[in-house]
Structure 1
Amino acid sequence: MLRSVFSRNFSTRIATRPSDLVGNTPLLALSSSLVPDALKGKIIVKMESMGPCSSVKDRLGLSMINAAELDGTLKPGMTLVEPTSGNTGIALAFIARERGYKLILTMPETMSVERRMMLLALGAEVVLTPKETAVSGAVAKAEEIMEELGETGCMLQQFKNPANPKVHRETTGPEIWADSGENVDVFVSGVGTGGTLTGTSQFFKGYENTPGVKPDMHVVAVEPQEQMLLTDAMGGEKIGEQGPHKIQGMGAGIIPEVIDLSLVDEVVAIHSDKAMEVASRMWLEEGLPVGVR
């Protein structure tokens, strides 16, 4: 019996390196009380947490490093430098480790201890910047380090790198469309760099001379209520006091160059406390470990 089983010609699906596992994450329909009774459709989430380092930034890290290697910006022996709020840094760290690059990350001191520990475990050097300067302070520090490194340094610049939206245009969008049976009416995305929102929306609505698969897709951008830059840019009214927030990875305090607001139909601002409350409910009601606790 055992002999007959092991003599079969099975096709193998074995990755040879961690970056081979980036992408093709599944969709999950929420079933809890988080879904309003009046909603006639379904709320479906894309489980980017099932990637190698548990976030959508795995795609971004891989895309930027691949593009830099391809155009010669990044060569063996060079040092990668990047400002990050955490997840992009984690993605870059595992790919840099895989490919033998040294990595220096600058990040605001307000970012979670867990993220710092994970980055250090992956061999990255972490330089913390004052919380008062937010992401702009991390960017300034990264630029300072680049000046010191000279030609041996490479900064990928996630907030302006075209490889950022490109990877979502070519992978995230098509995956959602195929796995949903080409049946999605509203696309909702939180905004950090704006790459996920922009690239995926370009796939749906169209990009340059390529028509979209669903031009009338309703695109919703989500930002912290305490930092309503997108709302302001779209002509909306700010709500409450503006300043620091607790939603790590979103609301960087700038409007990134890669974001295309012409694709956005609606901006929704969520207060940090509400976001954390819903994240807790996702743990308890859906069994999904989302957000930072």
Structure 2
Amino acid sequence: MNATPRAALAQALGLALLFAHGAARAQREMQEHATPSPAQADRGMQDHAGMQPGAVEPGPGTGDRGPAKAQAQPAHFSSAATCSCASAPASALPREPIPALTDADRAAAFPVLRTHAMLHAPSRTGYLLFDRLEGWDNHHGGGQAWEASAWYGGDIDRLWLRSEGARSGGRTEAADLEALYGHAVSPWWDLLVGVKQDVAPGDARTSAAFGVQGMAPYKFEVAATLYVGEGGSASARMQGEYDVLLSNRWILQPRLEADVAFADDRARDIGSGLSTLEAGLRLRYEISRRFAPYLGVVHERAFGATADYRRDAGEAARETRVVAGVRVWF
């Protein structure tokens, strides 16, 4: 009876010791797996360092295909990187070097332009303008006046014809015709030289003419001409006009003309100095660019000895008249 309990107690103690030993061993193995040894850590770092980006470990059932696929992907990346690096310098630099610019290249690309800037092929054309074809009727009687100009030639050299005159009381008071050679010295100005012929009845004279005409700043059309006649007599005429565009068709034109004599001319009742001054204001309507009727008012005044000569002849020294006419060009 006593042996049986002792044997059972011994067996229980043996099982307890065996269980405690097994638990301690299992705990020790778990700690070893959680904390690798220094040799295992170094070996793991070397294994990870040897792996290329994109490498995939073979999974179960993949066999030899896993390593082959893992090695093919780094090779693709390596070749692409090598290709891009090799092609960058080739695209940045031309196959043939660009030669340095020379003075001959610059001269061919930017030729020297003349001041006139009208270097077209030689051509000839013509132009005829009747700037004033007008008439009036006032208490001094009716009258007519004209002013015309024409040219033929190219952009630089032209032959000019100019004519101006007036009639009053059925007779021609003054008329002249000028033939001039014009040479463009700038895009806006011409130098003129030629002759002037007075064609009024009983007053046929020939004079040399020297002048300039063109467009001043702000589009003022200006002309000034010096006339030198027989015996050294000299006179000058200056004109200026400006077109004010009220609309596409309505245009207001102020105009000023002055005659100056450098010596008395009793045969023509002209005194030295400023002889006459004419100011006009005309409003025209352009039915087309070539044809435009107009209405206007003109004031003319004589000065100095010229005014005295007119009074002695029974004429007025100043006159204001309303005019109507047309402006036409071809």
TM score, norm. by length of structure 1: 0.22
Which of 1 and 2 has higher RCO (CA within 8 Å, sep 6+)? 1
Considering fraction of residues, name the structure with more helix: 1
| TM-score, structure 2 normalization | 0.20
Select the structure of larger CA radius of gyration: 2
